[in-house]
Amino acid sequence: MTSSSLVQLAEKILERAKMIDELTKTNFGILPNSSHLRSLTQTRTEQQQVPLELAQARLDIVDTAQELKRRVQDPEVTLAELFTGYTDTLILRAVYKLKLPQQVPTEGSTTYARIAQSVSMDETILRRFFHYAISIHVFEEPEPGHIAHTPISRLLCTNPLAFDSLGMTLEELVPASQEVLVALERYPRATEPTETGFQIVNQTDLPVYEFLAQHPERARRFGAGMRFFTQGSHLDLNYLFEAFPWREYDSNDFTVVDVGGGHGGVAIELATKTMNMHFIVQDIEGTIEAGRTALPEELKGRVTFMTHDFFSEQPISADVYFFRWIMHNWSDEYCERIIRNLLPAMKRGARILLYEHEMDETPTSRLSRKGAGYLDMVMLSGFNGCVRTESGWKKLLATQDNRLRFKGIHRVPGSAMSLVEAIWDP
């Protein structure tokens, strides 16, 4: 395939930029650099209002600008950027440990001297930290001697989940990732959830969540960080409703089992969009009790909760067995066990629906697709799970039983998630 010229890449960026200007003024009556549009990156509620065309135009600019940079920059410079990226982590760790976002007012600015006194650090060193942070768009210096927020640092200041996600990444994920190669030397099969970089760095033989349960503050931070990563318009549950014809099956005798469904967020969302179908949310006991307590009164006749371990045989005969963000935590060996435990309960026409991130079948350098690869490396570092391609899903489902037929993958434009469908066809 012939590659685009530099001018063509620049023209594409200009075209998408004009589109964003127009879409923004049409939908919000404002220009795209206004504080309101910047806030669209901060709260899920506002993100849901972003039209698909606007979201896609943003992604196109990100990908094209990255390609343009790669084409004009010498490979030696690009390589040096990769080599020196560890200093980003150093500065982010300082931002987190010193709670620097909380030291800066949400509006206006403050001085380096005041922050240095507050965090008990030499002002010269602190300035060096801030100057590097400014180079990666965390904070800005509106006038000499003063520091103020950028949208990124303001998000870390005002959104506790964002700040916890930074801490979770720096204190849990990064250390685990540094020991991945050691883990692979020791455990080359990379299938067991207790044989990862996380266990090595923490000197434990417990799986991640069991280990964290012994450290309440780390567990709280991990949970909060994960909640932040599951926010955003690209993860909105409206996409799930579009990915499968739920209304076509909306009858009193249609049952959906949400396996590993937590507090019932998906079941509640789908129940509010349908009228008759029933939902059973399965998870561990403590989680189920919390979900049952929080269930809206008007849904108590249609959404129920049940304690169940998905590594044991499924006791409910249902029409749909739904899993969201479950399978990527586990290697194929464990996913096969989870699926096999469903088969004795499945009736003709019953479906397995897996709502997951999906890797591209062919590797890509597009920056907008890097998220799936990032998650894949996180899974390798702490769980020995993985993010699968379409062929990976086909292979996984084909190994179970020839009566379980892979039906396809449903993808909705704008969504980061894919819905994998298999049907029981004896």
Same domain flag for 169 and 248: no
Same domain flag for 210 and 151: no
CB within 8 A of 66, min separation 6: which ones? 365, 366, 367
d(CA 264, CA 152): 31
The residue segments making up the domain with residue 53 are: 6-78
Instruction: Specify the 3-state DSSP secondary structure of 310.
Output: coil
Looking at 24, 57, 78, the residue that finishes a domain is 78
Average pLDDT over residues 145-166: 97
| Total structural domains within the chain | 4
d(CA 312, CA 199): 25
What's the chain's average pLDDT? 92
Same domain flag for 197 and 274: no
Same domain flag for 296 and 341: yes
Tell me if 234 sits within 8 A of 416, measured CB to CB: yes
Helices (H) and strands (E) in the chain, counts: 21, 9
Q: Is 375 inside a domain boundary?
A: yes
Q: Is 1 inside a domain boundary?
A: no
Q: Is the pLDDT of residue 219 over 80?
A: yes
Tell me if 288 sits within 8 A of 318, measured CB to CB: no
Looking at 128, 143, 158, the residue that finishes a domain is 158
Q: Is 178 inside a domain boundary?
A: yes
Same domain flag for 419 and 285: yes
Q: Is 152 inside a domain boundary?
A: yes
CB atoms within 10 A of CB 119: 15
Q: Is 243 inside a domain boundary?
A: yes
- At residue 24, the pLDDT reads 80
- Determine the residue type at 125: I
Same domain flag for 331 and 404: yes
Same domain flag for 148 and 176: no
For 301-332, the pLDDT digits (tens) are 999 999 999 999 999 999 999 999 999 999 99
On the 0-12 / 13-18 / 19+ scale of CB atoms within 10 A, 80 is exposed
Q: Is the pLDDT of residue 241 over 90?
A: yes
Q: Is 37 inside a domain boundary?
A: yes
For 178-194, the pLDDT digits (tens) are 999 999 999 999 999 99
Which DSSP symbol is given to 140? B
Average pLDDT over residues 2-29: 86
Q: List the strands of the sheet with 404-411, edge to edge.
A: 303-307, 278-283, 255-259, 320-324, 351-356, 418-424, 404-411
Q: Is 310 inside a domain boundary?
A: yes
CATH of the domain at 131: 1.10.10.10
d(CA 93, CA 153): 13
pTM of this prediction? Answer: 0.90
CATH of the domain at 325: 3.40.50.150
Looking at 55, 78, 101, the residue that finishes a domain is 78
Same domain flag for 50 and 135: no
d(CA 380, CA 195): 10
- At residue 44, the pLDDT reads 39
Which DSSP symbol is given to 375? H
Question: What phi-psi label fits residue 414: left (phi over 0), alpha (psi between -120 and 50 degrees) or beta?
Answer: left
Q: Is the pLDDT of residue 32 over 70?
A: no
For 46-72, the pLDDT digits (tens) are 444 467 788 889 889 999 999 999 999
Q: Is the pLDDT of residue 399 over 80?
A: yes
Tell me if 130 sits within 8 A of 109, measured CB to CB: no
Same domain flag for 221 and 275: no
Q: Is the pLDDT of residue 45 over 90?
A: no
Q: Is 47 inside a domain boundary?
A: yes
> Residue written as tokens 């206004």?
34
Q: Is the pLDDT of residue 35 over 70?
A: no
Average pLDDT over residues 120-145: 98
Share of the chain above pLDDT 90, in %: 83
Q: Is the pLDDT of residue 41 over 60?
A: no
Distance linking the first and last C-alpha atoms of the chain: 45
Tell me if 93 sits within 8 A of 167, measured CB to CB: no
d(CA 114, CA 120): 10
Phi, psi for residue 334 in degrees, rounded to 5:
-80, -35
Q: Is the pLDDT of residue 33 over 90?
A: no
Same domain flag for 119 and 250: no
Same domain flag for 216 and 128: no
How far, rounded to the nearest angstrom, does the alpha carbon of residue 231 sit from its chain's CA centroid? 7
CB within 8 A of 323, min separation 6: which ones? 259, 260, 338, 352, 353, 354, 355, 356
Same domain flag for 308 and 219: no
- At residue 29, the pLDDT reads 55
